[in-house]
Structure 1
Amino acid sequence: MPRYFFRLQNGETLTDEDGEELPDRDAACAAAVDVFVETLPDRRGQLASGGDYEVLVTDADNGPIYSITAKGRRF
């Protein structure tokens, strides 16, 4: 099975060094949504102050597969 890596970016980058074996790219996209939903509550303060938050999935060659971004904006 291919291995996918999940990078969390919100001013600093948290990189998944081990990755996760998943059956295919669709499974990696679904896992990214799960990671995003699970970790978003911890990013409320940053989003409220206008920061961004992204979960990026890459393959074993560090090629981008999928990205989810929340953008905080103050008007």
Structure 2
Amino acid sequence: MPRYFFRLSNGDVLRDEDGEELPDNGAACAAALDVFAETIPSKQTDLMDGGEYEVMVTDADDRQIYSITAQGRRFV
């Protein structure tokens, strides 16, 4: 089974050094959505201040498979 790595970024990058074995790219995309949904509440303040948050999935060859990004914008 292929191994996928999840990177979290909100200015600083938190790299997944171990990765996770998943059946295919589709399963990796679904897992990224789960990670995003689980972690986005902790980024609420950053997003309200105009920050950005990203979850990126790469394969074992460090090729980007999928990316989800949220960007906050304040309009005054």
TM-score, normalised on structure 1? 0.99
Identity of aligned residues (%): 71
For each residue in 1:17-72, what CA deviation from the matched residue of structure 2 results, as whole angstroms up to 9, or x when unmatched?
00000000000000000000000000001000000000000000100000000010
**Alignment correspondent of 2:74:** 74
RMSD: 0.3
Aligned counterpart, 1:9: 9
Structure 1 Cα separation of the partners of residues 45 and 14 of structure 2:
18
Code of the aligned partner of 1:26: G
Equivalences for residues 10-29 of structure 1 within 5 A: 10-29=10-29
TM-score (norm 2): 0.98
- Pairwise CA distance, 1:14: 0.3
Distance 1:61 1:4 in 2: 9
Unaligned runs of 5+ in 1: none
Measured in 2, the distance between the counterparts of 1:9 and 1:49 equals: 16
Q: Aligned residue pairs: how many?
A: 75
Distance 2:60 2:72 in 1: 30
